[in-house]
């Protein structure tokens, strides 16, 4: 197996037309011999953070900027489950540090803080995740479905959603439109 792609972006090739992943940027949270799990960070859904919190009976500050942010479709698996990618803030009951700049939390206590002053400085919420079974991601990489680059927290937290795919592509340093869609194996 190749080295782990944790804390990397999977950038969808222009030829990838699956509606869940077309022009997607997926942040890989976990990748090992059993498979991989990631969150699509650039496909907003028509629900704001405040609306989501209301739906699950979590008190929130409607006046905060955070309550007006969009929630994202993180992938096709467990779309009823929420995942919060955020800048480091400790004390939640179910957090995992993914890098020195990114944590993931799946417990409700993080949701209760998001529209108040004690929230992480930056965050996004996704509903669902993208999952790959053993060997599946490696197969998709060999088929040229994805480009891979080390994750940049600025793209997740500080780049307008409609620019995230393009900014991730620009990090690669070449014009993605000139790439061939056929995989070659020497």
Q: Please write the tens of the pLDDT for every residue from 105-147.
A: 999 999 999 999 999 999 999 999 999 999 999 999 999 899 9
CATH architecture classification, 8-178: 3-Layer(aba) Sandwich (3.40)
- What token pair was written down for 66? 């955070």
Q: Return the higher-pLDDT residue of 3 and 92.
A: 92
What ranges do the domains of the chain cover? Answer: 8-178
pLDDT at 186 over 50: no
Q: Please write the tens of the pLDDT for every residue from 23-44.
A: 999 999 999 999 999 999 999 9
Taken as a whole, the chain contains a residue count of 186
What percentage of the chain has pLDDT greater than the value 70?
Answer: 94
* CB neighbour list of residue 61: distance below 8 Å, 6 or more residues apart: 67, 115, 116
Where helices occur in the chain by DSSP H, the ranges are 49-55, 65-68, 108-113, 136-142, 153-158, 164-172
Q: What is the mean pLDDT of residues 80-86?
A: 95
């Amino acid at each position: 197996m190749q080295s782990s792609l944790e804390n990397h972006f999977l950038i969808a090739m222009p030829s990838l037309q699956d509606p869940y992943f077309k022009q997607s940027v997926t942040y890989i949270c976990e990748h090992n011999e059993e498979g991989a799990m990631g969150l699509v960070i650039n496909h907003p859904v028509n629900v704001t953070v405040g609306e989501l919190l209301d739906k699950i009976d979590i008190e929130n500050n409607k006046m905060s900027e955070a309550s007006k942010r969009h929630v994202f479709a993180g992938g096709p698996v467990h779309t009823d489950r929420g995942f919060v990618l955020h800048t480091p803030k400790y004390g939640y009951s179910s957090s995992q540090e993914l890098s020195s700049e990114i944590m993931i939390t799946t417990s409700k206590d993080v949701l209760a803080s998001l529209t108040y002053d004690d929230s992480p400085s930056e965050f996004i919420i996704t509903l669902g995740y993208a999952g790959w079974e053993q060997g599946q991601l490696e197969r998709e990489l060999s088929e040229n479905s994805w480009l891979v680059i080390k994750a940049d927290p600025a793209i997740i937290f500080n780049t307008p959603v409609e620019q995230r795919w393009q900014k991730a592509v620009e990090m690669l340093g070449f014009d993605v439109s000139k790439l061939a869609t056929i995989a070659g194996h020497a």
